Amino acid sequence: MITFKILGKRYPLPTRWEDITYTQYLFHLYRRTMAEKISCFTGVPRETLESKDIKGLERISLSLAFMTISPKFERTPMVGKYVLPADITIQSLGQFEDLRGLLKKLPQKKMADFDFEDHEKTADLYLTACHLPSKSERR
């Protein structure tokens, strides 16, 4: 992470994949403008960034250049404290119904049209879904 001054305030910006959150990663799965990327990392509204002359934009662009290279992910059985199911086809009917309930909470629009809050909600639902309790955990 490095810090940039944008519109008179200091913000941390990532310089590698390990610096971004899962929600930020989901937001960037689709092509985004530089203003959208900076907005995601800083919280400065995209409209504000597009209407102002930002000094040092080239340096900001260079710091985000890592995003042009695909991240290298390792398969892990854990997401934070949640265990990923090895085979979702052998989960119980109760777990299936819990998962169906979570799916109904997903934003009802195309993922390409998601804003940051939609990706954040989706990330939270993914993590919740990864920890649907097994039969032994319910006892």
Q: What distance in Å separates the CA atoms of residue 77 and residue 67, rounded to the nearest whole number? A: 25
Low-confidence ranges of the chain (pLDDT < 70): 73-96, 130-139
**What pLDDT shows up at residue 138?**
47
Query: What single-letter amino acid sits at 127?
Result: L
- Residue holding tokens 């119904």? 97
Cα angle 70-120-32, degrees, rounded to a multiple of 5: 45
**What pLDDT shows up at residue 121?**
84
**What pLDDT shows up at residue 23?**
82
Q: What are the DSSP calls for 96-116, one per residue?
A: HHHHHHHHTTS-SS-GGG--H
Q: Do the beta carbons of residue 102 and residue 125 sit within 8 Å?
A: yes
Over residues 8-32, the pLDDT tens digits come to: 888 888 998 888 888 888 888 888 8
**What pLDDT shows up at residue 134?**
47
**Whole-prediction pTM value?**
0.51
